Amino acid sequence: MSHLFEIENLAVAFDTQRGKLQAVRGISLNISEGESIGVVGESGSGKTVLSRASMGLLRGKRVSRTGSVRLNGTEMLTLSDSEVRELWGTQIAMIFQDPMTALNPVRRIGSQFAESLVKRLGMSKDDAATRTLELLGQVRLPEPEKVMKKFPHQLSGGMRQRVMIAMAIACSPKLLFADEPTTALDVTVQAQVLDLLADLRKSLNMAMVIVTHDLGVVAGFTDRIAVMYGGEIVELATTKDLFANTKMPYTGALMESIPRLDRKRGDRLEAIGGAPPDPTLDRTSCGFAPRCKFAQDKCRNEHPELVDAGNGHLYRCFYPLGVK
């Protein structure tokens, strides 16, 4: 089966004063056309570096990338800056987690939106203005004519995020990365934005990767979930199977930290003690072992590889949950 997007043994490291910081360590992940995948992990797990490296955004003398990232068979890591830019917007796009910093604060929404359509699609200014109105309406912004005339600071957080979504889908990309798309939004607006992304994905037959620290965010909006820890994928399964048959203790700990309606009033949420592993050190043990209540000597002395439970459910653990 051919895939739209293929990541194979991708590793990303940064040269720092402390030494080589290994942010992503040999990740492989395939994404099919129209599929929705969640990439979940706490801060420092490498999920944002994974998405930006996959987009071709991480380049420079202090960044090293090995492995392979292929979009429709085209190797992304060997493309020049100009060749990668040709793919942005038209083939692959990203919604950044802070729309206030992603939008130009001194230009009106209509102006900076239409400029991208003129440059990327070669539209006339009039056609670009018309298309801008259509796209702002498509993301359910009320009174898009008024929105076009406003500056970013005059819009609410939810409205700015919808503008960013509209800009991301303007050129009908095949794959959309959404990096913490609901972080700065209140709960009701979060649900609206996620519903919008789900509807757009289906209507445009667009593959989507939702990057988040919150398992609850992706529970109802993804086909599969990849859980990251310490720069590695530690569990990968269909969303339904991940929640029903959790294998990796880290995934289980993340689930225990999700607020639930069936909890008794006053119950404390379970916290994960300790800190993530030092990304500048080589990995000779399970990265989660110091924080895992099920860890044994083997976990502290050997590094586990991904194991297939038999149905495509992958996990990185010597003593998985629910297995005796």
Domains of the chain: which residue ranges?
Answer: 34-55+81-91+173-261+269-324, 98-172
Higher per-residue pLDDT: 115 or 235: 235
What is the number of alpha carbons within 13 Å of residue 94 lying toward its C-beta?
Answer: 20
- Rounded to an integer, the average pLDDT of 121-137 is 89
Residue found under tokens 């297995």: 323
Report CA 64 to chain centroid distance, whole Å: 21
Predicted pLDDT at 2: 67
| Across 129-138, 178-187, 230-239, 259-268, least confident range | 259-268
Angle 80-181-193 from CA coordinates, rounded to 5°: 130
Predicted pLDDT at 302: 95
Contacts of 165 (CB under 8 A, 6+ apart): 95, 139, 181, 193, 196, 197, 200
User: Is residue 195 within 8 Å of 23, Cβ to Cβ?
Assistant: no
For a pLDDT cut of 90, what percent of the chain falls above it? 54
Predicted pLDDT at 324: 60
- Which ranges of 4-58 does DSSP label H, i.e. alpha helix? 47-55
- Rounded to an integer, the average pLDDT of 125-148 is 91
Predicted pLDDT at 201: 92
Q: What is the pTM of this model?
A: 0.91
- Rounded to an integer, the average pLDDT of 167-189 is 85
Predicted pLDDT at 274: 85
User: Quick count: other Cβ atoms within 10 Å of Cβ 198?
Assistant: 16
Residue type, 304: P
Residue found under tokens 């119950």: 267
| Mean residue pLDDT across the chain | 89
For a pLDDT cut of 70, what percent of the chain falls above it? 97
Higher per-residue pLDDT: 50 or 215: 50
H or E element in which residue 158 lies: helix 157-169
- Rounded to an integer, the average pLDDT of 59-69 is 90
Contacts of 187 (CB under 8 A, 6+ apart): none
User: Is residue 14 within 8 Å of 53, Cβ to Cβ?
Assistant: no
User: Is residue 126 within 8 Å of 211, Cβ to Cβ?
Assistant: no
Judge whether residue 1 has pLDDT over 60: no
Its sign, for the CA torsion 295, 299, 305, 307, is negative
Its sign, for the CA torsion 230, 236, 242, 247, is negative
The CATH number of the domain covering residues in 34-55+81-91+173-261+269-324? 3.40.50.300
